C-alpha cells in the first residue's frame, strides 16, 4: 500500500463529502431523525390503557375501588357509563381497550365476607397490551382484596394477619423497567447499521455514474488503496454519528451509560467496519447509486430491526430463527451496546459478541476488497 495514494484518495473523498449537500444530510440529519423517530416511536411500555368503568352499585366502597384504577399510571379512566350496552359499544368502537364492571351487590357481599366477581372485558386484538392490561388489573384487584381481607379480620377481632410469603422484587440494570432503556442502545445500533451502509453505498457507484472511474483505474492506484482511502473518512464520520446517537441516548432520552468508553469505541469501530464494507460492496456490485442505496437499506434495516433482538428477544424466537440471527452482525453490536449502556459488564464477559463482531468485520472487509476489479467489464 502506497501512503501517497492512500492519502490522496482519502483527501479527495473528504473534499467530496464536504461539498455534497446530500452526504451532509445523511451524516447529520439521518441519525438525529432516526434516533427521535425510533426513540419515541418504538415503545413497548403499555401505560395509560383507555378504560371504561360501569359501576352498577355506585356506593362509596365501589367508587373507592374504582379510584385505584384512576390513580394507576397503567390505566386512564375515559368514562363512567351507566348501561352495559354503552360499555360494549365503546369496546366495539375502540374507544377503550378495557372495561371494568362492578356488580350491584359489591359492598354488601364484601361486608358479609363473601367473594365478589368483578368483570373485566378486554379487547384482545393487541394481545400484548391485553396481557399487560389483564396483569395490571389483577394486581390492582389483588391489592384491594388484600386490604379488604385485612380490614375484615381486624373487625372480627383478629390480629393484623399478613400473608405468609411476599415477593419483594428489585430490578437490576433498568431499575424502573423502562423499555426506553432497552430500546435506545438498540436504536443506536439500528441507526448506525443503516447510516453506515448508506454512506459508503454511494462512493463507488458515484464514480461509475459520473464517468470518473475510468480515469481513476487507469492510474496505478490499487483496489486496496481505493477501498481504504474511501472508507477511512467514512469511519471518522461514522464514529462521529455513533457519538451523536449515544449522546442523544444519554442526555435526551436519559439512558444511563455505565460501561467504559473504550469498549463503546472498540465495538463501534468493529461494527462500522462491517457496515461500511457492506455498503462499499453493494456499491461495487450495483454500479448505480440508486440501486446501491436501495439494496443497502433493505439489506441492513430489516435484519437489524427484526433479527437482532431489537424488537423480539432472540431467546424467544423459534430455534431456526435463533440460528439465523447469528448471521446478523447488528445482533452482536446491539448486545454489546445494551451491556455498555445499562450494565457496564467487563469486556471479557462479552467476548462472544466481540468475537462475532470481529469475525464479520474481517469477513466483510475481505469480501468487499476482493469485489472491486480495476477493469471496465
Partner 1 sequence: MNGASSAVVVTDLVKRFGDFVAVDAISLEARKGEIFGFLGPNGAGKSTTIRMLCGLLRPTSGQAQVSGLDVATQPEQVRQNIGYMSQKFSLYNDLTVSENLNFFAGMYSVGRSDLTSRLDWAIDMAGLRGRENSFTGTLAAGWKQRLALGCAVLHRPQVLFLDEPTSGVDPLSRRKFWDMIHTMAAEGVTVFVTTHYMDEAEYCNRLVLIDRGKIVASGSPLELKQKYMAGDLLLVECDEIGTALELLQGAPGVDDAAIFGNALHLVVPKASAAIAAVTSYLSQHGITVQTIEPIRPSLEDVFVSLTTARTGAATEKPIP
Choose the stretch contacting partner 1; rule: CB under 8 A; options: 164-172, 208-216, 231-239, 260-268.
Answer: 208-216
216 near partner 1, rule: CB under 8 A? yes
| The binder of partner 1 chosen from 66, 192, 221, 278 (CB under 8 A) | 221
Choose the stretch contacting partner 1; rule: CB under 8 A; options: 15-23, 49-57, 131-139, 147-155.
Answer: 15-23
Using the minimum distance from each CB to partner 1, give the nearer residue, 2 or 151. Answer: 2
291 near partner 1, rule: CB under 8 A? no
Distances (CA, A) of 199 to 30, 148, 352, 368: 11, 63, 28, 15
**100: which 3 cell numbers?**
371494568
Distance CA 101, CA 86 (A): 12
212 near partner 1, rule: CB under 8 A? yes
Nearest distance from residue 295's CB to partner 1, in Å? 24
CA angle 167, 164, 148 (to 5 degrees): 90
| The binder of partner 1 chosen from 92, 93, 315, 377 (CB under 8 A) | 377
Give the contacts of 234 (CB within 8 A, at least 6 positions apart).
Answer: 13, 17, 196, 199, 200, 203, 276
60 near partner 1, rule: CB under 8 A? no
**Residue 24 in contact with residue 69, Cβ under 8 Å?**
no
Name residue 121's beta-bridge partners: 99
Number of residues that bind partner 1 (CB under 8 A): 29
376 near partner 1, rule: CB under 8 A? yes
19 near partner 1, rule: CB under 8 A? yes
Using the minimum distance from each CB to partner 1, give the nearer residue, 149 or 222. Answer: 222
Using the minimum distance from each CB to partner 1, give the nearer residue, 163 or 220. Answer: 220
**Residue 186 in contact with residue 308, Cβ under 8 Å?**
yes
Nearest distance from residue 279's CB to partner 1, in Å? 20
**Residue 313 in contact with residue 331, Cβ under 8 Å?**
no
Distance CA 364, CA 357 (A): 11
DSSP state of 349: G
Distance CA 91, CA 123 (A): 7
Using the minimum distance from each CB to partner 1, give the nearer residue, 147 or 218. Answer: 218
Using the minimum distance from each CB to partner 1, give the nearer residue, 192 or 213. Answer: 213
Task: Determine the 3-state secondary structure of 351 from DSSP.
Answer: helix
Nearest distance from residue 211's CB to partner 1, in Å? 5
Task: Determine the 3-state secondary structure of 124 from DSSP.
Answer: coil
Is beta strand 119-122 parallel, antiparallel or unpaired with respect to 75-81?
unpaired
Using the minimum distance from each CB to partner 1, give the nearer residue, 226 or 350. Answer: 226
| The binder of partner 1 chosen from 70, 142, 147, 218 (CB under 8 A) | 218
Nearest distance from residue 317's CB to partner 1, in Å? 46
21 near partner 1, rule: CB under 8 A? no
| The binder of partner 1 chosen from 213, 231, 270, 274 (CB under 8 A) | 213
Closest to 101 (Cα-Cα) out of 75, 65, 148:
65
Task: Determine the 3-state secondary structure of 219 from DSSP.
Answer: coil
116 near partner 1, rule: CB under 8 A? no
77 near partner 1, rule: CB under 8 A? no
Distance CA 85, CA 93 (A): 12
Q: What count of other Cβ atoms lies within 10 Å of the Cβ of residue 214?
A: 10
22 near partner 1, rule: CB under 8 A? no
Nearest distance from residue 238's CB to partner 1, in Å? 22
Nearest distance from residue 375's CB to partner 1, in Å? 6
- Contact residues: partner 1, CB under 8 A: 2, 4-5, 7-9, 11-12, 15-16, 19-20, 210-222, 374-377
Amino acid at each position: 500500500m502506497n501512503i501517497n495514494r492512500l492519502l490522496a484518495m482519502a483527501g479527495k473523498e473528504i473534499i467530496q463529502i464536504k461539498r455534497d449537500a446530500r452526504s451532509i444530510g445523511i451524516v447529520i440529519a439521518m441519525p438525529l431523525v432516526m434516533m427521535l423517530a425510533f426513540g419515541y416511536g418504538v415503545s413497548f411500555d403499555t401505560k395509560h390503557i383507555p378504560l371504561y368503568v360501569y359501576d352498577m352499585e355506585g356506593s362509596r366502597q365501589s367508587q373507592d375501588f374504582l379510584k385505584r384504577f384512576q390513580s394507576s399510571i397503567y390505566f386512564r379512566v375515559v368514562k363512567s357509563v351507566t348501561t352495559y350496552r354503552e360499555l360494549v359499544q365503546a369496546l366495539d368502537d375502540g374507544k377503550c381497550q378495557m372495561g371494568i364492571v362492578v356488580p350491584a351487590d359489591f359492598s354488601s357481599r364484601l361486608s358479609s365476607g363473601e367473594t365478589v366477581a368483578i368483570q373485566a372485558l378486554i379487547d384482545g386484538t393487541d394481545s400484548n397490551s391485553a396481557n399487560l392490561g389483564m396483569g395490571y388489573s389483577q394486581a390492582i384487584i389483588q391489592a384491594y382484596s388484600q386490604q379488604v381481607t385485612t380490614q375484615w379480620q381486624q373487625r372480627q377481632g383478629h390480629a393484623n394477619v399478613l400473608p405468609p410469603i411476599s415477593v419483594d422484587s428489585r430490578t437490576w440494570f433498568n431499575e424502573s423497567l423502562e423499555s426506553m432503556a432497552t430500546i435506545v442502545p438498540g436504536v443506536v445500533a439500528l441507526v448506525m447499521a443503516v447510516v453506515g451502509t448508506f454512506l459508503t453505498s454511494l462512493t463507488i457507484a458515484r464514480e461509475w455514474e459520473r464517468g470518473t472511474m475510468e480515469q481513476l483505474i487507469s492510474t496505478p492506484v490499487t483496489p486496496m488503496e481505493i477501498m481504504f482511502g474511501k472508507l477511512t473518512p467514512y469511519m471518522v464520520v461514522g464514529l462521529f454519528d455513533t457519538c451523536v446517537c449515544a449522546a442523544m441516548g444519554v442526555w435526551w432520552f436519559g439512558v444511563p451509560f455505565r460501561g467504559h468508553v473504550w469498549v463503546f469505541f472498540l465495538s463501534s469501530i468493529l461494527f462500522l467496519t462491517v457496515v461500511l464494507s457492506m455498503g462499499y460492496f453493494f456499491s461495487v456490485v450495483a454500479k448505480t447509486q440508486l440501486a446501491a442505496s436501495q439494496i443497502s437499506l433493505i439489506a441492513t434495516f430489516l435484519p437489524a430491526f427484526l433479527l437482532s433482538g431489537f424488537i423480539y428477544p432472540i431467546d424467544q424466537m423459534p430455534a431456526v430463527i435463533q440460528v439465523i440471527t447469528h448471521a446478523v452482525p447488528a445482533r452482536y453490536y446491539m448486545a454489546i451496546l445494551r451491556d455498555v449502556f445499562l450494565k457496564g459488564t467487563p469486556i471479557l464477559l462479552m467476548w462472544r459478541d466481540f468475537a462475532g463482531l470481529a469475525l464479520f468485520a474481517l469477513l466483510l472487509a475481505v469480501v468487499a476488497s476482493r469485489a472491486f476489479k480495476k477493469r471496465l467489464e
